[in-house]
Amino acid sequence: MGVFKSMRDLQRQARELQDNAPPVADRLAAAQARMAGVSQLMELQTQAAYTAAAGAGGSGTRCPAVIVGMRQVGSVNFDLLVEFELTVTPEGMPPYPATTQQLVSQFQVSQLQPGRTLQATVNASSPAAIWLDFASLR
């Protein structure tokens, strides 16, 4: 008798969850909005990575960047989307403040903290386009 009572309780709970859930159209719209946000993030990450790759033989220049502040603004899979406030110090130019967002592995985030300096690739034509080189943390 206890098994059947447990099954009835589970069925009742499932009906309550289904009755209280938003309509399917609303859930689909919310999922599409989240996917659009992730697509935009991935596009920005691709552009920043391209800037870093172009630094080897194109419009990007490598320079030190000091982390002034950082905060998590999201996550993709198991990586964290972190917004960095930086002071970028390009050679032969005065330092300038910049903000960038980049995906960070959960394993690397503990190494990142305000005051830490790491290498960055900056797009020469657009100094706000910055790619942080986490390999320079070693």
Q: Write a three-state SS string for 20-72.
A: HCCCHHHHHHHHHHHHHHHHHHHHHHHHHHHHHHHCCCCCEEEEEEEEEEEEE
pLDDT at 17: 85
- Asked if 98 and 130 count as a contact pair (C-beta separation under 8 A), the reply is yes
How confident is residue 68, by pLDDT bands cut at 50, 70 and 90? Answer: very high
pLDDT at 74 over 80: yes
pLDDT tens, 24-56? 888 888 888 888 877 777 777 676 666 655 554
With 0.75 as the threshold, say if the pTM is over it.
no
pLDDT at 65: 94
d(CA 135, CA 113): 15
pLDDT at 22: 86
